[in-house]
Amino acid sequence: MTKEQVLAIKNNPKYQKLVGTRKKFAWTLTIIMLVVYYAFIMLIAFSPETLGAKISPDAMMTVGIPAGVAILVFAFAMTGFYVKRANGEFDDLLNDLKNDLEKGAN
């Protein structure tokens, strides 16, 4: 790839939109996951009795087990959400960019 081709890609508004949108989306999901994980850890650190409470008086399971499983399920759901958007909107933007570059090359 030549320097001219790289510059053509970087200067294309569709490329800039793709990079900006994807970056903003990735950072948003990252912050959401960090908040969820750190909230769970802070709850363990500062209020262990909350997660250590039994679900019912005669149950062996505590609140912490379903809370931990819920965090794992949430992480998988967030991954699925990212993949769905990446395979939809982001791929469409990339294909538009490729079409623009192919038209410019001809």
Q: What is the pLDDT along the chain (106 residues), one digit of tens a residue?
A: 789 888 888 888 989 999 999 999 999 999 999 999 999 999 999 999 999 999 998 989 999 999 999 999 999 999 999 999 999 999 999 999 888 888 876 5
Q: Which two tokens stand for residue 78?
A: 């967030």
Cα 31-37-38 angle, rounded to 5 deg: 85
Q: What share of the chain is helix, strand, coil (3-state, %, to 5)?
A: 85, 0, 15
Residues contacting 17, CB < 8 A, separation 6+? 93
Is 3 a domain residue? no
Is 6 a domain residue? no
Q: What pTM was estimated for this model as a whole?
A: 0.80
Give residue 30's domain range. 12-105
Q: Which two tokens stand for residue 69?
A: 């499983």
Task: Report the number of distinct structural domains present in the chain.
Answer: 1
